[in-house]
Structure 1
Amino acid sequence: MTDHFGSCLCGTVSFEVKGDFDSFYLCHCQHCQKDTGSAHAANLFSCSAKLVWLSGADAVTSFTLPGTRHNKSFCKLCGSALPNTQIAGLLVVPAGCLDTEITMLPTAHIFSSSKAVWDEGLGEVPKFEGLPG
């Protein structure tokens, strides 16, 4: 069993995930594109791991898109995506909010039929170590 630690951008919220992740999906659905502002969401899933809020639990809020199961938990102060347990028996952890290294590779791309057009051929785009000059 592995423990993972994470936090929000402003540092108000911190948490521990006790246990292992079952899967790691890169979701390209339009809901995930909207709520991340990016090409896809990167979420880890577990049916057995336990979430423990270490600080700032009162700063965590959630939004569920009406008529869907699409849910996002986030820090009220900085807006950072945070773990949620809104689907009974399932812990969903945005990969980017973890402070500990994730050794698991993504399991799969999902909802690829909704993939953003500009998300093609990214291997050919120039790479910079920091902000280009």
Structure 2
Amino acid sequence: MYNGSCLCGAVSFRLQSEPKAVTNCHCRMCQKQHGAAFATYTSVPRADLEYLSGQELLTAYNSSGSIVRKFCSICGSNIEWSGSNEFTDWVSIPLASLDTPFVPKNIKDVHLESGAHYPHANQ
């Protein structure tokens, strides 16, 4: 099992199975939501995500089509996204929200076409 939480600790959860399909998503929505060049997510079956506290504090936002992103209404931490037409019974969790150490075996990069291209400071 893997435990995780938001920045303020009000929302906490447990993954009942080993995370799968670790992905660095470079799409504009993930960039904007995380304020970073990409977001790293891992996925588990929806039934394997158990909220331990603060589930009532989650705010949902429909970012596109059927995709719903949930975040802590106190600190704004991204907690999950789901609603993929291809993986209807799965939920994705930001890898950095895990409090239990997890080292993925493989990380896939997706949506590189919208990836940020920042110059290095010494260029």
Q: Same fold (TM over 0.5)?
A: yes
**Residues 28, 117 of structure 1: CA spacing in aligned structure 2 closer, same or farther, 3 A cutoff?**
same
Residue correspondences, number:
119
Shift of 1:21: 1.9
Shift of 1:82: 0.6
Please report the RMSD computed on the Cα atoms of aligned residues, expressed in angstroms.
Answer: 2.2
Gap regions ≥5 residues in structure 2: none
Q: What is the aligned-residue identity percentage?
A: 29
Runs of 4+ aligned residues of structure 1 deviating over 4 Å after TM superposition are none
**Residues 31, 90 of structure 1: CA spacing in aligned structure 2 closer, same or farther, 3 A cutoff?**
same
Partners of 1:34 and 1:10 lie apart in 2 by 21
SS at match of 1:19: coil
Matched letter for residue 63 of structure 2: L
Post-superposition CA distance 1:74-116 (Å, at most 9, x none) = 0001000113444430121111111011111442110111110
Using structure 1 for the length normalisation, give the TM-score.
0.79
Q: In the alignment, does 2:23 pair up with 1:25?
A: yes
Higher relative contact order (CA 8 A, sep 6+): 2
Q: In the alignment, does 2:70 pair up with 1:73?
A: yes
Post-superposition CA distance 1:19-53 (Å, at most 9, x none) = 02221000001111111111001000123760111
Gap regions ≥5 residues in structure 1: 125-133
Using structure 2 for the length normalisation, give the TM-score.
0.85
The higher radius of gyration belongs to 1
